[in-house]
Amino acid sequence: MPTLLLSAADVRRLLDREALLRALRDAFAQYSMRKAIPALRAGSPLPGPGGRTVMIVFPGIIDGIPAFTVKVNTKIPGATRSVVGSMNLTAIESGEVLAIMDSIVVTAERTALAGALAADVLARRDVPRVAVIGAGVQGEAQVRALQQVRHVERVDVVDALPERAEAYAARVGPALGVEVVVHRDVAAAVRDADVIITATWSKEPFLSRSMVRDGVHITAVGADEPAKGEVHADLIATSLFVCDDRDLAVRGGAIGGAGLGPEAIHAELGEVIAGVKRGRTRPDQITIFGSVGLAFQDLAAAWQVYNRAKELGVGTPFEL
């Protein structure tokens, strides 16, 4: 069987966000309840300036799907394309590579939809105002995904580079049909937020308890490897903290970035979805979802994309 080569444009055309949201809901519950093969991440610094790294995320496995994924992403902070990479979709039984596809669209969409799932089970029902810290790809994707589960009316955005925030407002406001207001500092952006999305390269926590009001929900996706952090320990300690994977949250996620240990974690998202752990219990409670990203999320997206590609005749077949 030839291998199918799928570009970023192919993946973008084939990916169905609503279907993927449903698939991820089931996959998160399955992962936390069984965890027969835990998600693994192997990272390394690369030569050159600017904190370049390479990250391998594997193996993406979901019961009932006869394939797995291995993803390789290179991160180049400050570059026009700050993350580039590819993903192999491989048959479990034969080891044959079914497809090689761009991983960046998959990563952006599955990460954003995980944030939407967390908001759906943790955030209040009425959350019209969203603050976005970090006006990059994920800052936009998270708001788009959030619109699938909540009604968003206004986005307050701030970025370390003010021109990026201005460009975000000009692009995202019309595209998503929301009012977008640019701010010059984090405190102003989050002051009246119902949901806060942090998607930055920050090495130091910048969001503290004194900045946010009661009842807010926070989606923190920037701390996805060691030595990165966005949320202060004082905010985590006074919140209901939910992660995608306990071990990874401590080793390379928001918990580790704040200098805390596993005792600060209330639950994994899959446990809340499955109903074995409670989510929000009071309107004034602060909830946080700290995400590092898990390999099964890649598989859920890649399997959907691959099967739709075969059905529609999209992609370039070739022999390895």
Element (H, E) at 87: strand 83-91
- 118 in Cβ contact with 142 (< 8 Å): no
pLDDT of 36: 79
Determine, yes or no, domain membership for 216: yes
Q: Which residues contact 16 (CB under 8 A, 6 or more apart)?
A: 304, 308
Q: 5 - beta bridge partners?
A: 100, 316
pLDDT of 73: 96
d(CA 40, CA 60): 9
pLDDT of 38: 84
Determine, yes or no, domain membership for 113: no
Q: How many distinct structural domains can be found in the chain?
A: 2
pLDDT of 227: 85
Residues 246 and 173 in one domain: yes
Residues 138 and 280 in one domain: yes
Determine, yes or no, domain membership for 12: yes
Going by pLDDT thresholds of 50, 70 and 90, the confidence category of residue 279 is: very high
Domain harbouring 270, CATH code: 3.40.50.720
Q: Which of 102, 224, 244, 298 is catalytic?
A: 224
Determine, yes or no, domain membership for 252: yes
Residue 227 domain boundaries: 124-290
Residue 95 has pLDDT above 90, yes or no: yes
Determine, yes or no, domain membership for 49: yes
Residue 82 has pLDDT above 90, yes or no: no
Residue 24 has pLDDT above 90, yes or no: yes
Residue 245 has pLDDT above 90, yes or no: yes
Q: Where are the alpha helices (DSSP H) in the chain?
A: 8-14, 17-34, 104-122, 137-146, 162-176, 186-190, 233-237, 246-252, 254-257, 269-274, 295-312
In angstroms and rounded to an integer, the radius of gyration of the C-alpha atoms of the chain is: 19
Going by pLDDT thresholds of 50, 70 and 90, the confidence category of residue 1 is: confident
Determine, yes or no, domain membership for 115: no
Residues 282 and 147 in one domain: yes
* DSSP-derived 3-state class of residue 239: coil
Residues 154 and 268 in one domain: yes
Give 167-204 pLDDT, tens digit per residue. Answer: 999 999 999 999 999 999 999 999 999 999 999 999 99
Residues 130 and 224 in one domain: yes
Residues 299 and 286 in one domain: no
Determine, yes or no, domain membership for 94: yes
d(CA 196, CA 2): 44
pLDDT of 78: 78
* DSSP-derived 3-state class of residue 4: strand
Domain harbouring 87, CATH code: 3.30.1780.10
Residues 281 and 152 in one domain: yes
Residues 134 and 162 in one domain: yes
Mean pLDDT of the chain: 96
Residues 133 and 205 in one domain: yes
Residue 49 has pLDDT above 90, yes or no: no
Q: 187 - beta bridge partners?
A: none
Residues 244 and 141 in one domain: yes
Going by pLDDT thresholds of 50, 70 and 90, the confidence category of residue 142 is: very high
First to last CA, the chain: 10
pLDDT of 77: 85
Determine, yes or no, domain membership for 99: yes
- 159 in Cβ contact with 134 (< 8 Å): yes
Residues 214 and 170 in one domain: yes
pLDDT of 181: 98
102 tagged catalytic: no
Residue 218 has pLDDT above 90, yes or no: yes
pLDDT of 97: 98
Going by pLDDT thresholds of 50, 70 and 90, the confidence category of residue 39 is: confident
Going by pLDDT thresholds of 50, 70 and 90, the confidence category of residue 269 is: very high
Residues 256 and 313 in one domain: no
- Tell me which of 80 and 68 has the higher pLDDT: 68
